[in-house]
Amino acid sequence: MAKVRTTDLLENLDLELISGEDGLHRPITTSDLSRPGLELAGFFDYYPKERVQLLGMTELTFFEKLHPEEKKTRMERLCDDITPAIVIARGLEVPEELIESSERHAVPVMRSKLTTTRLSSKLTSYLEKMLAPTTAVHGVLVDIYGVGVLITGQSGVGKSEAALDLVKRGHRLVADDCVEIRQEDNDTLVGSSPELIEHLLEIRGLGIINVMTLFGAGAIRGSKRITLNVHLELWDSKKQYDRLGIEEDKMQIIDSEITKITVPVRPGRNLAVIIEVAAMNFRLKRLGVNTAQEFTDKLASVINERDPEQM
């Protein structure tokens, strides 16, 4: 099923439909746009017909200088069977030849009052957002001091309870149980909640609660960039856990990687405080303050001072 169709542009970008209404169902498969200046001059060898075609003042001014027969021929070739839409900028008058060809081939022609540059930027931003690769992850997403923390772990390990405690401490819930993630700009992961469970938190023994109703609008957030993964797992006495914080694991989501911290869970550990401190420490590392590395360097310096032969 197509993620974006031409009708979505019409409904979401304040465009005016001029002709070609029968083609509003056409799928849009790429965020790239085309300004067919060379095509209007007659060069169709590399015509990117699968893109949305954008016509501005330059293209239409040149088009008006063409011979009437050339106008018809160029518009016939411009309106391809797979072209999703042709958009006119600046509220310019639409050539009659384009209207006739678009009706004949069911290619939607739409018009915007925006300048060509602004319209191009707006179209590209919308299409990149809608066509971005997406996935869903079982976990909880919380905004902690501006850090998007994805809390993962097996069912029943305490993810939602930790999120509830974090919300009470003033942080903001983005999603519980299922986090929808889209990849933007190749390395940016943005998480949000499915509409059905937005603002809801499930606590075993208590049931489903509405975080916004209980704690106010300041306790929730619609979406957040994900930069840290805190993975909760039941304490395993046979496993060696990182005690210094030197090693840095990674979690891959789609084509991007984020820092992963594994936190063992057992009675008596305050998970909310640990996750909160993990987010604060992650921020410090991004600012260039690495406490674990500083401690390791000092320790190595002390050892070398006491045993010069090892230097």
236: annotated active-site residue: no
Of the residues 129, 138, 250, 286, which is catalytic?
Answer: 138
Instruction: For residue 201, give every residue at least 6 positions away whose Cβ sits within 8 Å of its Cβ, in sequence order, or none.
Output: 160, 163, 164, 167, 173, 176, 208, 209, 210, 211
Of the residues 243, 266, 306, 307, which is catalytic?
Answer: 243
Q: Is 240 annotated as a binding residue?
A: no
49: annotated active-site residue: no
Of the residues 177, 269, 283, 285, which is catalytic?
Answer: 177
Residue 265 contacts residue 158 (beta carbons within 8 Å) = yes
Q: Is 157 annotated as a binding residue?
A: yes
Q: Is 154 annotated as a binding residue?
A: yes
Instruction: State residue 60 phi and psi, 5-degree precision.
Output: -75, -30
Q: Is 263 annotated as a binding residue?
A: no
Q: Is 155 annotated as a binding residue?
A: yes
81: annotated active-site residue: no
Of the residues 5, 26, 74, 159, which is catalytic?
Answer: 159
Place of tokens 């909760």: 232
238: annotated active-site residue: no
Q: Is 156 annotated as a binding residue?
A: yes
Q: Is 159 annotated as a binding residue?
A: yes
| SS (HEC) of the chain | CCCCEHHHHHHHCCCEEEECHHHCCCECCCCCEECCHHHHCCCCCCCCCCCEEEECHHHHHHHCCCCHHHHHHHHHHHCCCCCCCEEECCCCCCCHHHHHHHHHHCCCEEECCCCHHHHHHHHHHHHHHHHCCEEEEECEEEEECCEEEEEEECCCCCHHHHHHHHHHCCCEEEECCEEEEEEECCCEEEEECCHHHCCEEEECCCEEEEHHHHHCHHHECCEEECCEEEEEEECCCCCCCCCCCCCCEEEEECCEEEEEEEEEECCCCCHHHHHHHHHHHHHHHHCCCCHHHHHHHHHHHHHHHHCHHHC
Q: Is 230 annotated as a binding residue?
A: no
Q: Is 120 annotated as a binding residue?
A: no
For the annotated binding site for ATP, the residues are 153-160
- Active-site positions read 138, 159, 177, 243
For the annotated binding site for Mg(2+), the residues are 160, 202
For the annotated binding site, the residues are 153-160, 202
